[in-house]
Amino acid sequence: MRIKQLGLFALALSLAISGAGCKKKVGAPASVVVPKPDAPPPPPPPPLAKAMITSFTAEPSTIEKGQSSSLRWATTNATKVTITPNVGDMAQMNGSRSVSPGSTTTYTLVAEGPGGSATQTATVTVNDPPPPPPTPKAAVKEDFSSVIARELADISFDYDKSDVREDARGILTRNADKLKQLFADYPTNVVTIEGHCDERGSAEYNLGLGDRRAIAAKEFLQQLGIGADRLRTVSYGKERPQCTDANEACYAKNRRGHFSGN
């Protein structure tokens, strides 16, 4: 094999010389390089010990944010132990280290030894802490108009009348009691009393009649101690009926005093 290579080398060399000779004159005769024989191969190195990881754990493996976990490791044959991320090179080949990751982290331990390295991972799962119990806030005040809508009942009137009926007196008395409490909680709000009519009278007369009904209810509440400055009146006549059928049940529904808060 080696002889054959040499022969080929010599052939190539002679070809190169003769080829060159065809084109230009060679001033001096070429010297032939003879390679030296190879050195004998080195002896194989002695076998080296490979690093091994006996264990690498995170304890506890699940923590809540802000808590810590202990990374423990044990290696053999290691000359260098590195834990990533954020931990770094360890002095001890067996040891522990407390970590407190902000989020779930997989730690990688690399143990390097003269005969090779070993890698192992351990994961610390980080859970968000449960939301804190709601801190007791100051209660949000309910909208005055919804309170009034819920707490104050309508009153009814007889056909073409604005007198406060017996049943309406009872309702207005209860409404007045509620208003006294409510006005204490809502010191700046006012209540508007709306007067409504059924459709049978003329629109013009009903606007007057609805005004009378609202004012009659207001006067009754004033007698029960509600301040006039907390009460307003408005007549809608027959402009805003609750129902539009032409029968007494519907007419009766429309002949009403209604309370709204503002």
Residues forming the site for another protein (CB under 8 A)? 159-160, 199-205, 207-209, 211-212, 214-215, 219, 232-237, 239, 246
Instruction: Output 180 or 240, the one with its CB closest to another protein.
Output: 240
Q: Which of 68/223 has CB closer to another protein?
A: 223
User: How many residues are present in the chain?
Assistant: 262
Residues 6+ apart with CB under 8 A from 11: none
d(CA 218, CA 229): 11
Q: Which is nearer to another protein, 112 or 198 (CB)?
A: 198
C-beta of 170: minimal distance to another protein in Å? 23
Name the minimum Å distance from CB 102 to another protein.
57
3-state secondary structure at position 69: strand
- Nearest distance, CB of residue 169 and another protein, angstroms: 19
**Distance in Å, CB of 134 to another protein, minimum:** 41
Nearer to another protein (CB atom), residue 105 or residue 235: 235
Distance CA 61, CA 54 (A): 18
| Exposure of 198 in the CB half-sphere (CA atoms within 13 A) | 18
- Token representation of residue 126: 């980080």
Q: What is the CA radius of gyration of the chain?
A: 52
